[in-house]
């Protein structure tokens, strides 16, 4: 059993899944941010993304989609031994928290609109 786990970790599958998860979180963040910005519940703190959204929300979402596709493409080339995996793991934790915050804001928007 332990040998199977060691082989699995060495295979790089977990790195690909981590990159897929990051791509998913990036898309989720994009859609939740666009929703929050549309309803004036949140503000975009990234100046580049704020300017893209101000130009047109489609540009904002398009960049998020392109970046997610890039993450999936890059996952092909990242090995299990790469130092990138530590960065990707940290980014996954931070992005998960950001998406959780977006979910709280959207939930509060829904609750406030009911009352």
> pLDDT of 11-33, one tens digit each?
567 888 999 999 999 999 999 89
Whole-Å CA distances, 62 to 11, 67, 93, 107? 32, 9, 24, 25
Identify whether the C-beta of residue 32 lies closer than 8 Å to the C-beta of residue 110: no
Task: Tell me the whole-structure pTM to 2 decimals.
Answer: 0.80
Residue 42 structure tokens: 């949140």
pLDDT at 5: 45
pLDDT at 10: 56
DSSP class of 43: -
Residues of the chain with pLDDT under 50: 5, 9
pLDDT at 105: 81
| Cα three-residue angle 102-104-110, rounded to 5 degrees | 105
Identify whether the C-beta of residue 80 lies closer than 8 Å to the C-beta of residue 19: no
Mean of the per-residue pLDDT values for the chain? Answer: 86
Q: Give the N- to C-terminal CA distance of the chain in Å, as an integer.
A: 54
């Amino acid at each position: 059993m332990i040998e199977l786990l060691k082989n699995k970790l060495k295979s790089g599958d977990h790195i690909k899944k981590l990159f897929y998860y990051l791509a998913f979180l990036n898309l989720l963040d994009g859609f939740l941010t666009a929703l929050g910005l549309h309803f004036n519940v949140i503000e975009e703190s990234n100046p580049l993304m704020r300017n893209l959204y101000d130009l047109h929300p489609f540009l904002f979402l398009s960049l998020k989609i392109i970046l997610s596709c890039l993450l999936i493409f890059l996952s092909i080339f990242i090995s299990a031994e790469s130092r990138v995996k530590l960065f990707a793991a940290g980014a996954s934790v931070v992005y998960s928290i950001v998406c959780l915050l977006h979910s709280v804001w959207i939930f509060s928007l829904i609750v406030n609109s009911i009352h």
